[in-house]
Amino acid sequence: DGGITQSPKYLFRKEGQNVTLSCEQNLNHDAMYWYRQDPGQGLRLIYYSQIVNDFQKGDIAEGYSVSREKKESFPLTVTSAQKNPTAFYLCASSSLADTDTQYFGPGTRLTVL
């Protein structure tokens, strides 16, 4: 089955620790995105990538880092510099020909204790 997966589904971390969220897709999409959603809020763009080994900051990149070493994978690291990391993190992908149609993974709910 083609799709986009994220792991883990739930993640708990202690304050001051870095944590990496996984995102994998087998849709052969070039573009991948990371969004953050807070309760009662819309999604906000953290980082996006349109090609391997290249990525761009979104609206709220501070305290986050990404890598794109493979087309299928776009992991997000939430660093200790992110002041309010507790949120629902969603990864998405799209083809470059149609970046308006994005397919989302099931999300990772991160809680900082």
Radius of gyration of the chain (CA): 13
- We find the least distance from the C-beta atom of residue 64 to other proteins, in angstroms, to be 15
Q: Which is nearer to other proteins, 3 or 17 (CB)?
A: 3
Find the shortest distance in angstroms from Cβ 41 to other proteins: 5
Nearer to other proteins, 2 or 16 (CB): 2
Q: Cβ of residue 80: shortest distance to other proteins, in angstroms?
A: 26
CA distance 47 to 62: 10
Buried b / exposed e across 31-53, counting CB within 10 Å, b at 16+?
bbbbbbeeeeeebebbbbbbeee
- Please tell me the distance from the alpha carbon of residue 92 to that of residue 62, in angstroms, as a whole number: 19
- Residues in contact with other proteins by CB under 8 A are 31, 33, 35, 40-45, 48, 56, 58, 88, 90, 99-102, 104-107, 109
Q: How far is the CB of 88 from other proteins (least distance, A)?
A: 8
Q: Nearest-CA neighbor of 109 among 94, 90, 82?
A: 90
Q: What residue has token string 């690291």? A: 77
Nearer to other proteins, 53 or 101 (CB): 101
Q: Closer CB to other proteins, residue 18 or residue 26?
A: 26
